[in-house]
Chains A and B, each alone.
Chain A
Amino acid sequence: MKDKVIIAGFGGQGVLLAGMVLAQTALEEGLQTTWFPAYGAEMRGGSANSTVVISDEEIGSPVAVAASVIIAMSDQGLGRFLPRAEQNAVVIVNSSLIKNRPEKDGVEFIFVPASDMADTKIGDVRMANLIMIGAYVKKRKELSLESAKKACAKAFPGKPKILEMNMKALELGFNYAK
């Protein structure tokens, strides 16, 4: 198994944090993993992205020229990274914010209205990031919801309320995806 996951959106959507939770999930499963952020000027205001590589073998580059998974949180994020999708890539689209239906041959699109679900079902639109992670975890048999929850717990130590909301987000995304 080897996945090169790019999570892309804009600043404030929690794409760096989502990547960290995902990398920790892989670690909980005993897999190899790396996390790499877009850092510096890009972090402010505009686009934000992070790359997570998950593999059962030693990982070379933590940077993905081509991605096997794209988690697109915004229009801009999708536009920028869709051209980098490999054959048979999985592209998870936050359909609340991305209104058009992108097309690309040899790519499986999964549409998750993550921002709306976060808003209506959790009451906090910022939870969209872990809804998307939940949907991705469902797609990979190597990863489990339990591991994702364990990872989540490590991301929010001493913040039980926020943790509970994030756990719910993971479940919502997991259950939404097929």
Chain B
Amino acid sequence: MKQLVKGNIALCEGAIAAGCKAYFGYPITPQNEVPAHMSKRMVELGRVFLQAESELAAVNMVLGASAAGYRAMTSSSSPGISLKQEGISYLAGMELPAVIANIQRGGPGLGNIAGSQADYFQAVKGGGHGDYRMIVLAPYSVQEMYDHAYLAFELADKYRNPVMLLTDGVVGQMMEPIEARAGNLDAEKKYFNKDWVLDGCAGRKPRLLRSLLMAEGDLEKHNRELEKKYKSMSSDEVRFESLETDDAEIVVVAYGISARVAKTAVKKARQEGIKAGLIRPVTLWPFPSKTINENARSGRKFLVAEMNLGQMVEDVKLAVSGRCPVEFLGRPGGGLVNEQEIFENIQAMKG
């Protein structure tokens, strides 16, 4: 039988099932269940839990654990994720796998503790410095909190790159029945032939993990290598869900909690005889631009619903390339988009 589980707890259990060896965190609402649950479970499992002195320290502890070859994770909410940007940039530059979860809350600044989607730009456009990319997964249910946590570790190891889980306070705080799908991997196991790990130079030459490349041309070469990796991520790792888009006249694009709400609105529109459909990006980077582009056929209209002042809508517009009108429905500052609002917008667009 399925179990009734809170989103933040499902995130922990998915990570544990993926063999997460170390968790480093810091308290902030609405993700406090994550360090609290990990402090118990990781210790029970003989793995590492540590409450760090700051988000900066936490992400750098993840960097260390990853450099030593183990699966490691940190989590926070928006203001804390801003602090982690330093570490994310270094993880990308040093090519270290890591999982970072952002249970978004309202901003800017201290904002509030309600669910929000205002950190889209920060997550997908590179909130840290330098030319880097990371896969951003956007779970929209408690089940996906579990599944994506597991998947995030696989992708991080596969590409030697940080992976972010971008969700929000609503998905983090809600309970829903889930199934623990993935098997429990052995945390001691080293994943994907990690021939770069720092574990002492016994019987081999010393290894070095760095992002500093001062010799002329070295950094450009490194960035070109990273580019190759980012290109293969963007061709192989795009994930999305689409609903009734074949004959849709109005295509709603939404992710995370907004996509759940949009799904209900689209179903209601269909019941009312309006040809509406939904595209839900599951990876926000790489973005399902190709699918959106293929859906941008003449006579169609797009509606983007987000809990911010308009962020993903820019990527939708890029993908649509001016072929269809793109309208925007946003709720900033921790406001939750509701079914009726989306439905009314669909109705109005139908004309």
Note whether A and B contact each other (Cβ less than 8 A): yes
Q: Name A's B-contacting residues (CB within 8 A).
A: 20, 23-24, 27, 32-37, 39-41, 58-63, 65
How many whole Å from A50's CB to the nearest CB in chain B? Answer: 9
A-facing residues in B14-49 (Cβ within 8 Å): 29-30
> Which of A20, A41, A65 is close to B175, meaning CB atoms less than 8 Å apart?
A20
Sampled A-B contacts (12; CB under 8 Å): A23-B175, A27-B1, A27-B177, A33-B4, A36-B170, A36-B173, A39-B30, A58-B263, A61-B261, A61-B264, A62-B260, A63-B170
Interface residues as binary, B39-78 with A (CB distance below 8 Å gives 1, 0 otherwise): 0000000000000000000000000000000000000000
- Name the one of B170, B173, B340 contacting A65, with C-beta atoms under 8 angstroms: B340
CA gap between A65 and B257 in the complex, in Å: 15
Report the 8 A-B pairs with minimum CB-CB distance, sorted nearest first. Answer: A60-B264, A35-B175, A40-B113, A62-B174, A61-B261, A36-B174, A60-B260, A65-B338
Please give, as numbers and ranges, the residues of chain A lying within 8 Å of B327 by CB-CB distance: none
CA distance A105 to B265 in the complex (A): 27
Complex Cα–Cα for A7 and B30 (A): 21
- Shortest B200–chain A CB gap in Å is 45
**Which B residues lie at the A interface, using CB under 8 A?**
1-2, 4, 29-30, 113, 169-170, 173-177, 257, 260-265, 336, 338-340
Number of A-B contacts (CB under 8 A): 61
With CB as the reference atom, state the residue of chain A lying closest to B142: A34
Find the B residue at minimum CB distance from A151. Answer: B4
Do B260 and A27 touch (CB < 8 A)?
A: no
B176→A33 contact, CB < 8 A: yes
B-side contacts of A39, CB under 8 Å? 29-30, 113, 169, 173
- With A36-B174, A61-B338: A27-B4 Cβ-Cβ less than 8 Å: yes
Q: How far is the CA of A153 from the CA of B86 in the complex (A)?
A: 47
Q: From the candidates A20, A37, A59, A61, name the one contacting B173 in the complex (CB within 8 A).
A: A37
Q: How far is the CB of B101 from chain A (nearest CB, A)?
A: 17
Cβ-defined partner of B177 (8 Å) among A33, A58, A60 = A33
Q: Name the residue on B nearest A24 (C-beta).
A: B4
Residues of A within 8 A of B262 (CB): 60
**Residue among B2, B30, B174 making CB contact with A35, cutoff 8 Å:** B174
A36 to B168, CA, bound (A): 13
The interface residues of chain B lying within 8 Å CB-to-CB of A65 are 338-340
* Closest beta carbon of chain B to A30's beta carbon, Å: 9
A41 and B113 in contact, given A60-B261, A60-B264, A62-B170 (Cβ under 8 angstroms): yes
Give the residues in chain A near B2, CB-CB below 8 Å: 27
Q: Quick check: B4 and A61 within 8 Å, CB to CB?
A: no
Residue of A nearest to B262 (CB): A60
